Amino acid sequence: MISIRLETLLRNSLTRRQFGQGGMALGATLAASPAFALTEERARKLVEAVVADIFRVINSGRAEASMLREFERIFARYADVDLIARRTLGPDGRSASNAQINAYVSAFRGYISRKYGRRFREFIGGSVEVTDAYAEKSYFVVRTRTQLQGQAPFEVRFLVLTRNGQDKFFNLLIEGVNLMLAERTEIGAMLDKRRGNLDQLIADLRTFG
Amino acid sequence: MLKKLLLILVLPTLAACAAGPRDANGVLDPYEGANRAMHAVNKGLDTVALRPAAAVYGGVLPKPVRDGVNNVANNLELPGDMINNLAQGRLDNFGNNFFRLIINTTLGIGGIFDPAKSFGLDHEDTDFGETLFVWGVPEGAYVELPVLGPSTERGVVGRVVDAALNPLGVILNDDQEDIASGVSIGRTLDMRYENRDLINSTLYESADSYAQLRLLYLQNRRFKLGDGEIADDFDPFGDPFAQ
């Protein structure tokens, strides 16, 4: 009951957004076509697609450097990297120029892909299975049961939204640990170490991870 | 009855818990200075003792042997878990743990094996910190304990009560208590060995290992307790630079 209401609310708010962006005619078409509103089914499909792509790379047996480049492509395709990166800057991002933000987003994309990509070897012989999906606030949560070899299964939640007509995930929670917050903590500490020098951080991030 | 008695005993301590708003990351840490000093000590202990000992333990003992040690340690915890299951009013979990104890102590030869798992009886691990959570006691401030590592004020009170309530102290003789301590240390070494990638990267590769560990601990603990069901309290269509 509650989930149906949330979904309706979400659908209405997304539709309003599209009215603003695409004009009345397009908005009316979108409102009539449920395919344009994010649904549990689509959120679930996005997660299944990103998981399938990741395992394809892991099982390809390529060299690590080539795998890491593939992971960066997958991250760019399925994640709202721009939003994740901006959020990790927090209020420090307010004083940055557009050029700095763009450079940061690009450096962050590579850093995250390398940092977590190196650990995807732990996923060899493992599996990620979608268990359920539900609406929460203005996004969808897709829950998965992740099983790595020789370990107890654990829960990974993908948070999925639609922006400019594209479905993307914008956060991951591993057994409750919010990865965006973990990275914001890390980036904040790196910035402190560089006395708030964002350009220095951007240059260093290009080589980190 | 038990709940009232225990609450009367622990309330004075809990009343001394820090209160106040959490920061944007959900952290309340008024003892940060002392905590950071303790973190430096704990990290040093990990570097010189726990990490190398875990590498030897994991490298020498095959996995089935380490699993057997973990099973014995977990089995010995069941009586204490069952007291907490009851105090929480979670009778299903109590039943699970009760039958686990019977099956694994007998069929599982003193808890070395875990046949109860194949009957669908998973270990319902708990502690008095969780009991306090169920009773509505707030988490309090973050605390990094010597040797034991991350906790909260509520968790510290829970540990003290768990130690006092532990029925094993009455049941076991001295030799058996030595074995109980031994398997508990073994289980800690195995945990450090199996999670070495995560622990090493958190402790030795992050820009601020104290802040990183604090966040990971608090979020994971709240997740396990079922405290805070909202995945991300944030409007992704709002200002990304907002706290």
Q: Which chain A residues have a beta carbon less than 8 Å from that of B243? A: 90-91
For the cut 50, the answer to whether the pLDDT of residue A83 exceeds it is yes
CA distance B109 to chain A (A): 23
Q: Does residue A195 sit at the B interface (CB-CB below 8 Å)?
A: no
- Among residues B93, B182, B174, which one has the least CA distance to residue B131? B93
Write out chain B residues lying below 8 Å of A87, CB-based.
234, 240-241
Domains of chain A and any CATH numbers: 2-207 (3.10.450.710)
Is A20 within 8 Å of chain B by CB? no
Mean pLDDT calculated for residue range B29-57: 98
Q: Which of B24, B222, B240 sits opposite A86 (nearest CB)?
A: B240
Exposed e or buried b per residue across A60-94, where buried means at least 16 C-beta atoms within 10 angstroms of its C-beta: eeeeeeebbbbbbebbeebbbbbbbbbbbbbebbe
In terms of CA atoms, which chain B residue is nearest residue A14?
B237
For residue B173, which phi and psi values (nearest 5 degrees)?
A: -85, 180
Task: State mean pLDDT over B57-83.
Answer: 97
| Residue closest to B231 by CA, chosen among A122, A161, A187, A186 | A161
Read off the amino acid at residue A202. Answer: I
Residue in the block written with tokens 């039943």: B95
CA distance A73 to chain B (A): 22
A151–B contact, CB cutoff 8 A: yes
Nearest to A168 by CA among A56, A81, A72: A81
What pTM value is reported for the model? 0.86
What integer is the mean pLDDT of A173-180?
94
**CB distance B236–A170 less than 8 Å?**
yes
- In the 8-state DSSP scheme, what is residue B204? I
Q: How far apart are CA A114 and CA A153, in angstroms?
A: 24
Only one residue has tokens 């599209």, namely A18
Does the beta carbon of A119 lie under 8 angstroms from any beta carbon of chain B?
Answer: yes
| Average pLDDT, integer, range A18-31 | 41
A88-101: average pLDDT: 94
Chain mean pLDDT for chain B: 92
User: Rounded CA gap, A128 and A146, in Å?
Assistant: 4
| Of the candidates B53, B103, B43, B51, the residue with the CA atom closest to the CA atom of residue B78 | B103
**Secondary-structure percent of chain B, ordered helix, strand, coil, rounded to 5:** 65, 5, 30
Of B145, B6, B127, residue with least CA distance to B77: B127
Q: What is the mean pLDDT of residues B39-60?
A: 98
pLDDT tens readout for residues A59-69: 998 999 999 99
Q: What is the mean pLDDT of residues A125-149?
A: 93
What is residue A12's predicted lDDT score, i.e. its pLDDT? 42
pLDDT of residue B242: 80
ipTM of this complex: 0.87
How far apart, in whole angstroms, are the C-alpha atoms of residue B139 and residue B123?
Answer: 24
The band of A22, judged by pLDDT with boundaries at 50, 70 and 90, is: very low
Q: From the candidates A87, A92, A94, A172, which should be mutated to test the interface with B, based on the most B CB atoms within 10 A?
A: A87
pLDDT above 90 for A11: no
> Cβ separation of A83 and B208 shorter than 8 Å?
no
Tokens of A68: 């890491």
Residues of B with CB under 8 A from a CB of A: 24-26, 63, 194, 197, 206-208, 211-212, 215-216, 219-220, 222-224, 230-237, 240-243
Single out the residue of A132, A119, A123, A102 nearest to residue A179, CA to CA.
A119
Burial class of residue B125 (count of CB atoms within 10 Å of its CB; 0-12, 13-18, 19+): middle
Smallest CA–CA separation between B164 and chain A, in Å? Answer: 30
Whether residue B216 and residue A170 make contact (CB cut-off 8 A), yes or no, is: no
What is the C-alpha separation between A139 and B216, in angstroms, rounded? 23
* pLDDT tens column, B84-140: 999 999 999 999 999 999 999 999 999 999 999 999 998 999 999 999 999 999 999
The domain ranges of chain B are: 30-225
Residue B5 — very low, low, confident or very high, per pLDDT cuts 50/70/90? low
Q: Is the pLDDT of residue A44 over 50?
A: yes
Q: Do A190 and B207 touch (CB under 8 A)?
A: yes
Instruction: Tell me how far apart the alpha carbons of residues A204 and B108 are, in angstroms, rounded to a whole number.
Output: 54
pLDDT score recorded for residue A157: 96
